[in-house]
Amino acid sequence: MKGVITVDIGTTSMRGALYDAGGRLVHMDQQDNAPRYFSDGRVEQDASAWQAILPRVLKSCADAAGDAGLAPACIAVTAQRSSVIPIDRDGTPLHPAIMWQDRRTAELVEALREHDPLVYRTTGLKISPVFSAVKMTWFRRHRPDIWNRTHKMIGIQDWTLYLLTGRLVTDHTFGSRTNLLDLRTRQWDAELLRLFGVPSAMLCELVAPGAIVGGLLPARAAEAGLPAGLPVVTAGGDQQCAALGLGLFSGERAVTNTGTGSYLIGHSDRPALDAQMRTACNVAAVPGAYVVEAAVLTSGTIYRWFSELGFAGGDDGAPVFARLNAEAATAPPGANDLLVLPHFRGCGAPYWDPAAKGVFYNLTLATTRGEMARAILEGIAVEMKESLELVEALCGRVDSVSVSGGLTRSDLFNQIQSDVFARPVVRFGNGEATSLGAWIAGAVACGIEADHARAFARAVAPGSSVSYRPDPANRPIYERQCRRARALYRALATPEFREQIQ
């Protein structure tokens, strides 16, 4: 019986998963691998860390396949997007990866701000420290010693595919997160390459998402206990794969994926651009389609940060997150007027403000840690509600929202999302939407399934999902929280206020 191995490289871990031919998760191995966060806004990670972990997760999946009597048909790879690693002609990294959350390029972004209309019109993205091109420009301007030795500027996905196959390629989903890809032609844009000062020769060859990019190198195969030449598939970016794994095939559904950050994603059959440039439009993992994304840059990472402060600790042996969720559930909807702006590493949609800061507003001596925990969850959902409104304006009315990611293991958070969105929310039985999307891409590429929609339908067993419906009694509470959050951000974002607190 055939199986598919997926590799999902997130911001804080790498996951190897084994699926059978029906899309059933047989085995998963997760290896933690967090980046380094510096006080000046830099976020970096050594590429050697992924190189060390990759054989371990593949070996774990290969062993599980042997135990289950499965013959892997391919390895499907997905990863976080927009991080940058310069490598030399021998494929050796010359600098730690500059991660997608890194803020060192903020001044460069401001200097290029006048070009936003051109860049957005072509690529579906404003110029932002999040995306790849300005990171490449930073190397050229500030690290010429590295720039002059660089053969290719690659992403984490590209690095992983290179380790597995020896080829330097990137697919359109990752290219569409660089500020350098023309959405319509799906090729590198000459005018934007000139704007950012990046030679086309320094970029990877472009391929379609879902393509087989090569066979597993003999050395990698020996390390993992897999057959040499095993097809390796580029499944697409992590958020595009999450959308695929949640069944995003039409505009009537939106999806959210809440991990380190949160993404609310809609479907479009054409490039869909916002007149005020508040959303991102990217190439989808589904052939011929596009996704419209609105991002909350920090979400699950805030909840983790709060738990690590020790507020939810104790000596009763209960897991920290379970204690934190239980305490959050004791707080009323609206958290007794406590408000959180989840801008702990800047603000994503709709404001795209790298200078924004995280805020707890309305704290008193009566505030409980449960109220603070609930306010974090509500603050994330409120921010995502603004994203939903932006996506609906471009993709049409959304009837339901499918959710995945670490925070969605919490029934409380899912109910909060449903109440804030005023929409039904659905969580599927397999909460690993990103790796499931990679399985779908791999299953189609290797001929296990005929198309993406059939693969999704096969993987989602009847009765395996949980639905949450909005509570009408909570609607006015959260409508008020949405208004308050907008007003608070606008007050804090005024130049007069920011000048006074410098």
Separation between Cα atoms, residue 192 and residue 137, nearest integer Å: 12
Query: What angle (nearest 5°) sits at the alpha carbon of residue 55, between those of residues 157 and 49?
Result: 60
Q: Which of 189, 255, 220, 174 lies closest to 423 in space, CA to CA?
A: 255
- DSSP for 170-228 reads EEHHHHTTTT-EETTTTEE-HHHHHHHT--GGGSPEEE-TTEEEEE--HHHHHHHT--T
Strand partners, 339: 361
pLDDT band at 431 (very low <50, low <70, confident <90, very high): confident
CATH number of 247-427+471-501: 3.30.420.40
Are both 2-242+436-442 and 247-427+471-501 of the same fold?
yes
β-strand pairing of 43-45 with 71-79? unpaired
DSSP H helices in 25-46: none
pLDDT for 436 equals: 95
Our CA dihedral for 127, 130, 134, 139, rounded to 10 degrees, sits at 170
pLDDT tens per residue across span 334-358: 999 999 999 998 898 888 888 899 9
Which pair of structure tokens corresponds to residue 213? 């990019």
The span from the CA of 279 to the CA of 396, in Å, is 14
Assigned CATH for 2-242+436-442: 3.30.420.40
- Closest by CA position to 427, among listed 465, 388, 385: 465
Token pair of 252, please? 């009537």
d(CA 249, CA 268): 9
State the Cα torsion 188-189-190-193 to the nearest 10°: -80
Written as six digits, the tokens of 129 are 């420290």
For 470, residues 6+ apart whose C-beta sits below 8 A from its C-beta are 418, 419, 421, 422, 423, 424
For residue 152, which phi and psi values (nearest 5 degrees)? -140, 145
pLDDT average, residue stretch 309-327 = 71
Alpha carbon distance 302, 297 (integer Å): 10
Mean pLDDT: which of 159-168, 285-294, 339-348 is highest?
159-168
Q: Model confidence over 199-237: pLDDT tens digits?
A: 999 999 999 999 999 999 999 999 999 999 999 999 999
How far apart are the C-alpha atoms of 257 and 285, rounded to whole Å?
15
pTM of the model: 0.86
In the structure, what pLDDT confidence band is assigned to residue 317 with cuts at 50, 70 and 90? very low
Burial 480-502 (b: 16+ CB within 10 A, else e): ebbebbeebbeebeeeeeeeeee
Domain boundaries, the chain: 2-242+436-442, 247-427+471-501
Say if residues 5 and 74 touch (Cβ distance below 8 Å): yes
Instruction: Specify the 3-state DSSP secondary structure of 6.
Output: strand
C-alpha to C-alpha distance for 156 and 317, rounded to whole angstroms: 37
| Token reading at 40 | 């000046």
- Kindly indicate the confidence band of residue 318, based on its pLDDT and cuts at 50, 70 and 90: low
Measured from the Cβ of residue 241, the count of other Cβ atoms closer than 10 Å reads 31
Range of weakest confidence among 188-192, 403-407, 455-459: 403-407
Please give the single-letter amino acid code of residue 363.
Answer: L
